């Protein structure tokens, strides 16, 4: 077992316990040296890695291009559950898409769970893979009807689902849906091994290479922030939130963040099943091997829109819930994850836009990106090699049912509009800068505009444009991670303005001072 830092670390256990090798950046060069491949995959999370690997396994020449490090974004901050039972998904899908859609969804998700086991066995990957039952449970009688309905809907969709009142949680539940033989694993151990096998099969991997532009043609052309280029017959975009506006998916995606707390428990005190309840603003529980007779209890919850409300307060609620429900749990790690929800509860995996012939996208996994990412690899590899799977059309992004989706679309766009227009008349005056504590941040009005101001631990001020470089919404400060976040589409920026998470690809503009006589703590203008 890897030696890990002691104490309560503001870091992902998956990242700390499996650092992984580094891969080179895509370097700029003359036209004659521009790499050319059959398929370029943009985004090195589970969807991108699995897609690149499946295509390489099918004999295609593949390049995988990641803006940061492989499996370090949403994939490196997951709870790492592989389950075809996904909260209350089946009654929602049946209502929005029909019985056949629910059946195909169940079959595709179950296939993804089994696919991880087959790949791990084939390649000999030690990734802490464990088979375990999955549960969606209710503690209150108010939620029990929805849980019973999910048991019926999941069974009708083809899963071996049943209603039960028995779990291995250390507290009583009113009832739960149970689906046996699901799985949990260490995602980075699995994916870093997959990346190594991708390279062994002739695939190329480029890290620290942020794709900025896509030219669709014959071939397609990609350009990066450093001016590097690559040509490809086909392009797949798996960047969580799509980075290209032409996808026409922005009005149909809702972004949410969730918090994760990981605590150490004795082996005999940790649940072996995987649990989720929609109550208490969502609570997800599972445990992972931790060595020396211990397991790591992983608790997720506090779902929220990025940039809205105190994140520290949400962490406090989640930690308090964990300690109450699991006495003796010793918090060791905390981190946050972000994902996107579609308006009809089914991810988008397929052509990037209605006119696309050689560009594809995968997004909208609604917190189930582990099975969604594995599914993406299988689905797109089948599509690009002429062997489509039975559920290919189910996930096609070009689908639109105005009757069923319009209410959700209107609610989502109403939320975005409230932030886009309402935030412009909010924000403190520039005099409020003096009230920003060390480590804190605030959006302040300067003349007719707003600036995002952070005070570091030494008291120095860091001023940025508060306008997200994606579509211009105003960012807000995350007091737990000390980042700037866009509530409209989830772009995230470091306090120096650099992009941490898209869809934005350009950094926030930096200022030397606040433009009104405010500057650093010693009266000196600073950036």
Within 10 A of 418 (CB to CB), how many other CB atoms are there? Answer: 12
Residue appearing with tokens 């290479």: 209
Residue 512 inside a domain? The answer is yes
- If asked whether residues 440 and 517 sit together in one domain, one would say yes
Does residue 441 or residue 2 have the better pLDDT?
441
Residue 165 inside a domain? The answer is no
In this prediction, residue 374 carries a pLDDT of 98
CA dihedral 100, 102, 108, 112 (to 10 degrees): -170
- If asked whether residues 373 and 515 sit together in one domain, one would say no
- If asked whether residues 434 and 505 sit together in one domain, one would say yes
- Look at residue 423 and tell me whether its pLDDT is greater than 80: no
Q: What is the mean pLDDT of residues 247-258?
A: 84
Q: Which of 372, 401, 430 is the last residue of a domain?
A: 401
Residue 110 inside a domain? The answer is no
- If asked whether residues 356 and 459 sit together in one domain, one would say no
- Look at residue 172 and tell me whether its pLDDT is greater than 60: yes
- Percent of the chain predicted with pLDDT > 90: 75
Strand pairing report for 492-493 and 441-446: unpaired
Q: Residue 376: which CATH number?
A: 3.50.50.60
**Cα–Cα distance between 51 and 171 in angstroms, integer?**
40
Domain assignment of residue 519, given as a range:
402-527
Q: What is the pLDDT of residues 467-476, one digit of tens each?
A: 999 888 899 9
Pull the structure tokens for residue 286. 């599972």
- Look at residue 32 and tell me whether its pLDDT is greater than 90: no
Q: Which of 374, 401, 428 is the last residue of a domain?
A: 401
**pTM, rounded to two decimals:** 0.91
Q: Which of 356, 371, 401 is the last residue of a domain?
A: 401
- The band of 189, judged by pLDDT with boundaries at 50, 70 and 90, is very high
Residue 182 inside a domain? The answer is no
Counting the structural domains of the chain, the total is 2
Residue 97 inside a domain? The answer is no
Q: What is the mean pLDDT of residues 336-340?
A: 93
Within 10 A of 129 (CB to CB), how many other CB atoms are there? Answer: 18
- If asked whether residues 382 and 515 sit together in one domain, one would say no
Least confident among 151-160, 182-191, 243-252, 323-332: 243-252
In this prediction, residue 280 carries a pLDDT of 87
Kindly report the average pLDDT of the chain as a whole number. 90
Least confident among 47-51, 232-236, 445-449, 513-517: 513-517
In this prediction, residue 227 carries a pLDDT of 95
In this prediction, residue 410 carries a pLDDT of 59
Task: Return the H-helix or E-strand segment holding 189.
Answer: helix 187-200
- If asked whether residues 356 and 243 sit together in one domain, one would say yes
Q: Residue 457: which CATH number?
A: 2.102.10.10
- Look at residue 180 and tell me whether its pLDDT is greater than 90: yes
- Look at residue 88 and tell me whether its pLDDT is greater than 50: yes
Q: What is the mean pLDDT of residues 112-117?
A: 98
Least confident among 74-83, 177-186, 218-227, 304-313: 304-313
Q: What is the mean pLDDT of residues 118-145?
A: 97
Query: Do 47 and 231 meet the contact criterion of CB atoms below 8 Å apart?
Result: no
Least confident among 121-130, 302-311, 390-399: 302-311
How many Cα atoms sit within 13 Å of 378 on the Cβ side? 23
- Look at residue 116 and tell me whether its pLDDT is greater than 90: yes
Residue 304 inside a domain? The answer is no
- Look at residue 409 and tell me whether its pLDDT is greater than 60: no
- If asked whether residues 384 and 426 sit together in one domain, one would say no
- If asked whether residues 516 and 472 sit together in one domain, one would say yes
- Look at residue 519 and tell me whether its pLDDT is greater than 70: no
- If asked whether residues 509 and 376 sit together in one domain, one would say no
**Cα–Cα distance between 163 and 411 in angstroms, integer?**
33
- If asked whether residues 355 and 502 sit together in one domain, one would say no
- If asked whether residues 384 and 443 sit together in one domain, one would say no
In this prediction, residue 290 carries a pLDDT of 95
- If asked whether residues 354 and 494 sit together in one domain, one would say no
Pull the structure tokens for residue 297. 């209890």
Core vs surface per residue 286-316: b (16+ CB within 10 A) or e: bbbebeeebbbbbbbbbbbbbbeeebeebbe
In this prediction, residue 526 carries a pLDDT of 33
**Cα–Cα distance between 106 and 101 in angstroms, integer?**
9
Residue 217 inside a domain? The answer is yes
């Amino acid at each position: 077992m890897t030696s890990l830092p002691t104490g309560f670390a503001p870091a992902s256990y998956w990242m700390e316990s499996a650092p992984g090798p580094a891969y080179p950046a895509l370097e700029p060069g003359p036209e004659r040296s521009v790499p050319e491949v059959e398929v370029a995959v943009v985004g090195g999370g589970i969807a991108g890695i699995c897609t690149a690997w499946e295509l390489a396994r099918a004999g295609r020449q593949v390049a995988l291009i990641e803006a940061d490090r492989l499996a370090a974004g949403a994939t490196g901050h997951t709870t790492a559950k592989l389950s075809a039972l996904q909260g209350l998904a089946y009654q929602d899908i049946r209502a929005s898409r029909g019985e056949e859609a629910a059946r195909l969804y169940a079959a595709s998700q179950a296939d993804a769970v089994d696919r991880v086991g087959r790949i791990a066995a084939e390649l000999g990957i030690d990734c802490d893979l464990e088979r375990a039952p999955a549960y969606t449970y209710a503690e209150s009688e108010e939620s029990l009807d929805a849980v019973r309905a999910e048991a019926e809907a999941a069974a009708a969709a083809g899963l071996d689902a049943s209603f039960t009142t028995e779990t291995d949680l250390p507290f009583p539940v009113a009832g739960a849906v149970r689906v046996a033989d699901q799985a949990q694993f260490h995602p980075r151990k699995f994916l870093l091994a997959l990346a190594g096998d991708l390279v062994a099969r002739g695939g190329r991997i480029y890290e620290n290479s942020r794709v900025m532009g896509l030219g669709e043609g014959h071939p397609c052309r990609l350009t990066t922030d450093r001016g590097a280029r690559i040509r490809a017959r086909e392009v797949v975009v798996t960047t969580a939130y799509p980075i290209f506006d032409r996808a026409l998916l922005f009005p149909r995606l809702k972004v949410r963040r969730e918090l994760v707390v990981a605590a150490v428990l004795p082996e005999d005190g940790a649940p072996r099943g995987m649990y989720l309840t929609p109550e208490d603003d969502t609570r997800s529980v599972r445990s992972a091997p931790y060595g020396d007779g211990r397991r790591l209890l992983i608790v997720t919850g506090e779902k929220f829109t990025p940039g809205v409300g105190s994140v520290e307060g949400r962490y406090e609620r989640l930690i308090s819930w964990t300690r109450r429900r699991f006495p003796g749990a010793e918090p060791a790690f905390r981190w946050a994850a972000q994902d996107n929800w579609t308006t009809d509860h089914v991810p988008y995996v397929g052509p990037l836009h209605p006119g696309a012939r050689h560009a594809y996208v995968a997004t909208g996994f609604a917190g189930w990106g582990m099975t969604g990412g594995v599914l993406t690899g299988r689905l797109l590899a089948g599509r690009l090699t002429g062997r489509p799977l039975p559920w290919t059309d189910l996930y096609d992004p070009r689908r639109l049912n105005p009757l069923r989706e319009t209410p959700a679309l209107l609610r989502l766009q109403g939320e975005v509009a409230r932030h886009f227009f309402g935030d412009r008349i909010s924000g403190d005056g520039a005099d409020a800068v003096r009230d920003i504590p060390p480590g804190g941040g605030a959006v302040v009005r300067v003349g007719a505009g707003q600036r995002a101001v952070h005070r570091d631990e030494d008291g120095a001020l860091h001023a940025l444009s508060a306008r997200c470089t994606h579509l211009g919404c105003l960012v807000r400060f995350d007091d737990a991670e000390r980042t700037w976040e866009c509530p409209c589409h989830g772009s995230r920026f470091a306090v120096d303005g650099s992009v941490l998470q898209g869809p934005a690809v350009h950094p926030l503009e930096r200022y030397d001072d606040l433009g009104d006589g405010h500057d650093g703590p010693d009266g000196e203008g600073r950036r």
